[in-house]
A = this chain, B = another copy of it.
């Protein structure tokens, strides 16, 4: 008899283990922050628990992993749609004039509510004042990889160009070793940070042993520029030593076959953000081709201004559809493969695959429970088809990280979410006039 803290019983358990085990009537047992048992219900008799949760009608899956976000940008969601070059026309000016530590903290916490309510348990983020994001993540209780942004021009938290490097060093020192929050460095992009400061960023990542997050091959002008100078964006990055297993590259749209092979050979990991890319009118990412080549790939919402929704279920639903569209083949990228990408695949991208991403004994107790009886979910013939093509964010009912309930019955447990809503309305009132002024220019 094994003693444990809690047993979730009678759930439809989807493990994402290497044999793809599912248990239509299954259980999960946790002790402390760990999974100590998972399997068919009859095996739950081997466990004795302090609490038992009956999860009849519910689907129990690993928490979703969101591999690329800018959560503090929730403050600006919907502010500048359907316009060209909004990075220079809207985003950089708004950030320069409006982004302050308090806005970053409150806006991050607000965004984390939306992410938790839609089942995300781990995320990667890059922004300014990343220490505020870390504090918000800590309070909300999610697992996070957080990168301070380095920008080759003055940034909200750095008057000098590339001042993020200095911020990053102390940020990384402060958070290194934290249980849930892992620090990183995040040079913005190959077209906004020069070669010298990209090299310095890579050097810092190596020195402090942290991941390097960056937007890569996202923009057409970036693609044109580095194709002319080096053959491609990836060839440029390889030349200057940035292509390696520390790099978590977001987007990766403009790639030829050689670039894909190079990404695989160098161990580059990819944060794929199909909703954001589509809304920006960009080419469809060769995500399936990267997966075929053996590149590790996870899903991402991107920031709230880019995708407008911070829920992985809607990204997961679009992901195989866009790949099938790109390849004009409905057979490629099955629901099962797509579902893995939103869970274990994302964990691999963030280097957390030994800790999270599947429901296995010894892994962290990061899991979510989904109402499988809602109208949009039934009938269920193929659980992966249901989870990929039918699941909506509101079907998520309970969310646990490290065995701790962060959402119960669709309510945030870890912080006062109603208070954060009020903060967001204050932020909106501050931003409104500013945004209207840009609009009228």
On A, residues with C-beta under 8 Å from B are: 74-79, 81-84, 110, 113-114, 117-118, 275, 277-284, 308-311, 314, 317-318, 320-322, 324-325, 327-335, 373, 375-376, 378-382, 385-386, 389-390, 392-394, 417, 421, 424-425, 427-428, 431-432, 435
Contact = CB atoms under 8 A, between A and B. Distances in A.
B428 A110 contact: no
B381 A328 contact: no
A310 B376 contact: yes
A378 to B, nearest CB: 6
B75 A278 contact: no
Contacts of A417: 375
Contacts of A386: 78
Q: What 5 A-B pairs have minimum CB-CB distances, sorted nearest first?
A: A394-B394, A281-B324, A379-B428, A308-B389, A281-B330
Copies in the complex: 2
B389 A376 contact: no
17 contacts: A74-B379, A78-B390, A79-B382, A110-B375, A114-B375, A118-B376, A279-B321, A280-B330, A281-B327, A281-B332, A309-B317, A309-B392, A378-B421, A379-B427, A380-B428, A381-B432, A381-B435
The winner among A81, A113, A280, A310 for most chain B CB atoms within 10 A is: A81
Contacts of A79: 381-382
A309 B381 contact: no
B381 A431 contact: yes
B311 A389 contact: no
A417 B279 CA distance: 36
Given A84-B330, A435-B381, A392 B389 contact: no
B335 A82 contact: yes
Contact of A331 (B82, B284, B390): B82
Given A78-B379, A281-B325, A393 B392 contact: yes
Contacts of A432: 381
The winner among A75, A77, A335, A379 for most chain B CB atoms within 10 A is: A379
A385 B278 contact: no
B322 A278 contact: yes
Contacts of A327: 281
B330 A385 contact: no
The winner among A83, A320, A389 for most chain B CB atoms within 10 A is: A389
A424 B379 CA distance: 7
A83 B281 contact: no
A421 to B, nearest CB: 7
A17 to B, nearest CB: 21
B385 A78 contact: yes
B324 A376 contact: no
Contacts of A114: 375-376
A390 B308 contact: yes
A222 to B, nearest CB: 15
Contacts of A76: 379, 381
Contacts of A78: 379-382, 385-386, 389-390
